[in-house]
Amino acid sequence: MNHSITRMTRAVRSDVGSGWWDEYYIANCIGSQYVIRNYLAPGESTSWELAGVTVVAKKRSNRTGVPKAAETWTYNFSCDAFQVTVRSVWHRGDLLTPLKTHTRVVKVLPDTEEARQSYNSWLRAIAAI
């Protein structure tokens, strides 16, 4: 396994707790980053339909430690099988790096492996991962 992925895995487990993290977390974060960067450029709060999933974007107040010119957004992906919230920070027209810190899945409802797996399947179906 790549050392950076191993470090990210350890960080995620300590950050979100062992009950929330599972084998889908990192892939779902990476797939979410791809979808947001390629399909959901920052702009006005709005909603889209993307391959059977409703996506609602809302601008939020910035997190600490990001440049003043950055914009923090949440993206809510929802359908019958899941509701996933991803927080993302944009800066100068692109996602702020490091992506593992600034664009990540922050909530999955229902909080079940099935919901995370369903989101993962959707991401794979649209070739995001």
The structure's pTM equals: 0.81
So where are the chain's domains?
22-125
> Residue 123, Cβ neighbours under 10 Å: how many?
23
Can you give the pLDDT at residue 23?
A: 80
Confidence of residue 20 (pLDDT cuts 50, 70, 90): low
H or E segment to which residue 81 belongs: none
For the record, the structure tokens of 104 come out as: 């990540």
**Does residue 79 surpass a pLDDT of 90?**
yes
Can you give the pLDDT at residue 46?
A: 85
